[in-house]
Structure 1
Amino acid sequence: MMHGFIPPQRFFPYLTWTEIQAMKNKENVVIVQPIGAIEQHGPHLPIIVDSAISMGVLGKALGQLEPEIPAYALPCLYYGKSNEHWHFPGTITLSATTLLTVIMEVAASIYRAGFRKLVLMNSHGGQPQIMEIAARDIHQQYSDFCVFPLFTWRVPHIAKELLTPQELEYGIHAGDAETSILLSLLPDHVRMEKAVREYPQGLPENSLLSMEGKLPFAWLTQELTQSGVMGDATAATQEKGDRLLASVAEGWVQVIRDIYQFRQPTFT
């Protein structure tokens, strides 16, 4: 089925053009663009991880959303900017310019159809900045277009209850959280017998600088890990993944509600 994890009644491409033309209250309909990546996630996970998480979380959230709140999912943008992983076979990467152009042109099409609320739901840690640039430029071009550059994992969730402090800080790729969620979403495609525990190597000690903190440095994955994993994949369980998935999806239900009620601030 083309809709995958998305409830079919919430999958935008299943609508006809006449249904879209006749849709009421289009200025408040929430259109969600899931954005992932096709990139290595260690020897145990498929390269579709980020895209699967976007679609899995969004599908569960839309399934729980009140029917009276109009919200639709676009097809996932499976390819992202993944050049930090390109030394690992199977990674497919777009340039920042290409990804930005695709997002801008999708947004223009959505605006032209009469919609005025677009969510960029990104699940890949290598491209939040592109979402932010796109959102600002889209809103500058169309002042009545509300655009939300959101990262899937930044909604309230229970990861702190399930992961170790070390994992919360350094388990940023193919570790406990992502492996657990894939065990929940795509259990037949997780090779737990190949799971490894490997944290980033050679990080600066006693320094204000870090990989993804307030004062980051640029890095490539092959500089920090041999396996492609940054975290403890061996600690993952499906039960943990079920709880994480439910928690993140619940956060997204609230986010979509808030976006439906959102009005762009104006200075008067």
Structure 2
Amino acid sequence: MLSDLHWAARTAEDLNNLAQRDAIVVLPLSSTEQHGPHLPTGCDTILTEAVAERMARLVSHHRPILIAPTVWIGLAQHHVAFGGSFSVSMATYHALLRDIVTSIKTAGFRKVLLVNGHGGNISALHVLTDALTQETELAVASTTYTLLPNQQRALEAILEDQLILQHACEAETSMMMAIRPDLVRTQRLSEAFQPGYSKGDASPLSDPLLLWTSFKAFCPSGVRGDARRASAGKGERLLAVAAELLATKLIAGEPWNRQGGSA
């Protein structure tokens, strides 16, 4: 059920009032793609929305904030070989985000934060944040909730078999166990690992000498990392850290106040 923090739960009159109060609009970005034998294809969408909701709830006590409908499709060509995955081209993704952000601007809002929860979108967003700012003349900011400052230290303290968030892994599986345990196929957890994976291994998709590779070529299980010791308790801690780290930034007026603008 949508809370009153969601754009889709508010009337047009409500939204006009929030625009006049200079509310921050959070646009969750995710993907619909394979997540191993044990997690649903909507994992990224579910987790990104959960982080956005928890974060916005914290921020709302200090300043107006609103969560726009989630963009559930992204750049996921590296998962398509498994089946069950959606992906769009860079040109389509750029056009889609430009039109959504333009709609937010037309509705009267001035601050937009793209909150991403899919690894395949990260590199594109480095470019698109600049492009969207130039094209829409809005103060567009972006982040990936798994890459916030100080989060690495928190991940290392919570996880047992990983140092960083991977894919369909100990971290993502734990968070899903915390918020949607009904969608976790626990009977398949014994298969939810990557043979030969070592704690702290980086993804080949982030190699500085990069050659595009299908995820299936180096992760036949569809899992990067090891989900076998995932737990709901770990998931609650991971979600809390992500929400609190981002909320702290927004409550302080970041990132807009770093540019000398009003926050």
**1:22 and 1:176, CA in 2 relative to 1: closer, same or farther beyond 3 A?**
closer
Distance 1:179 1:241, change over 3 A: same
Aligned to 1:151: 144
Equivalent of 1:85 in 79, 87, 99:
79
Q: 1:95 to 1:259 in 2, by over 3 A?
A: farther
Percent of aligned pairs with the same amino acid: 26
Match of 2:5 among 10, 16, 40: 10
Query: Please, which moves more after superposition, 238-247 or 175-184?
Result: 238-247
CA shift for structure 1 position 181: 0.4
Q: CA deviation at 1:222?
A: 1.0
Which blocks of at least 5 consecutive residues in structure 1 are unaligned? none
Output the CA distance in 2 between the equivalents of 1:89 and 1:135: 30
Following the alignment from structure 2 to structure 1, what is the Cα–Cα distance between the partners of residues 159 and 197?
23
CA distance in 1, matches of 2:226, 2:255: 39
C-alpha separation in 1, matches of 2:213 and 2:197: 11
Hey, what does 2:113 align to over in structure 1?
119
For residues 255 and 145 of structure 2, the distance between their equivalents in structure 1, rounded to whole angstroms, comes to 20
What SS does the aligned partner of 1:91 have? coil
Q: What is the CA-CA distance between 1:18 and the residue it aligns to?
A: 2.5
Shift of 1:193: 1.6
Instruction: Look up the equivalent residue of 1:14 and give its one-letter code.
Output: A
Q: CA deviation at 1:66?
A: 4.1
Cα deviation, residue 14, structure 1: 2.2
2:175 partner SS: helix
8 A contact 1:200–1:224 mirrored in 2: no
Whether the aligned pair in 1 keeps the contact of 2:73 and 2:87 (CA below 8 Å) is yes
User: Per-residue deviation at 1:111?
Assistant: 1.0
| Structure 1 residues 160 and 264: CA distance shift in structure 2, 3 A | closer
One-letter code aligned to 1:199:
Q
Is 1:162 the counterpart of 2:155 in the alignment?
Answer: no
Q: Is the contact made by 1:30 and 1:72 (CA closer than 8 Å) also made in structure 2?
A: yes
C-alpha distance in 2 between matches for 1:19 and 1:44: 40
Aligned pair partner of 1:20 in 15, 33, 44: 15
Partner of 2:251 in structure 1?
257
1:135 aligns with 2:148: no
Report how far residue 81 of structure 1 moved: 1.4
Alignment of 1:157-236 (within 5 A): 157=151, 158-164=154-160, 167-168=162-163, 172-195=166-189, 196-199=191-194, 210-236=204-230
Deviation of 1:63 after TM superposition, in Å, equals: 2.1
Residues matched between the structures, number: 254
- Report SS of the residue matched to 2:241: helix
Q: What is the Cα-based RMSD across aligned positions, in Å? A: 2.6
